[in-house]
Amino acid sequence: MPWKRTTSLAAVAALAVLGLTACQSEGSDAKAGPSATASTQAPADGSGDSATSEAPATGGVEKPDDLPAGLPLPSGKLTSVTGSTGAYVLTFSAQDPQAVIDEYRKALEGAQYTVVDIAGVFTATSDKTSVSVATGGDTVVLTLATL
């Protein structure tokens, strides 16, 4: 079943809410104990090197094992991963985020993703994968949803 633009927008909106909720609820809750959301952060010492889209630096943060096969990742240092199976928010730091976005867009198009610009953010969809990419400051945020 091909992705529709509405489906992509709904997936991006749902994942954005998931990401914001996870960021706000990270840590522990006095009633519920530790947060159930998977989240990792890079070490504060700034370790990790610059990377290419084939092998992003992780700086101690592990990329999810269940990412779709053939999904390219942005260059830059992976600084955090939030989410769970099939729905993740990956954050990368980059000295030139706009260059990273331009490079990543080309990588997605080369991997046969359909790319659509929506209000300063772009989404890329394939058969069962939807990716939304945005920047802010020196950060590139990738929101991923899979069926």
Predicted confidence (pLDDT) per residue in 11-61, tens digit: 444 444 334 334 433 443 433 333 334 444 444 444 433 333 444 444 578
Task: Name 79's bridge partners.
Answer: none
Token pair belonging to 123: 């989404």
Confidence of residue 64 (pLDDT cuts 50, 70, 90): very high
Tokens 């990543």 locate to 104
The residues spanned by each domain of the chain are 5-146
The Cα 2–Cα 25 span in angstroms is 34
pLDDT at site 59: 55
Tokens 């840590």 locate to 27
Q: Is pLDDT of 139 > 70? A: yes
Q: Is pLDDT of 80 > 80? A: yes
Residues 6+ apart with CB under 8 A from 116: 5, 8, 122, 123, 124, 125
The Cα 141–Cα 93 span in angstroms is 9
pTM assigned to the model: 0.63
What's the mean pLDDT when you consider all of the chain?
Answer: 73
Characterize 105-138 residue by residue with b for buried, 16 or more Cβ atoms within 10 angstroms of its Cβ, and e for exposed: bebbeeeebeeeeeeebbbbbbeebbbbbbbeee
pLDDT at site 120: 78
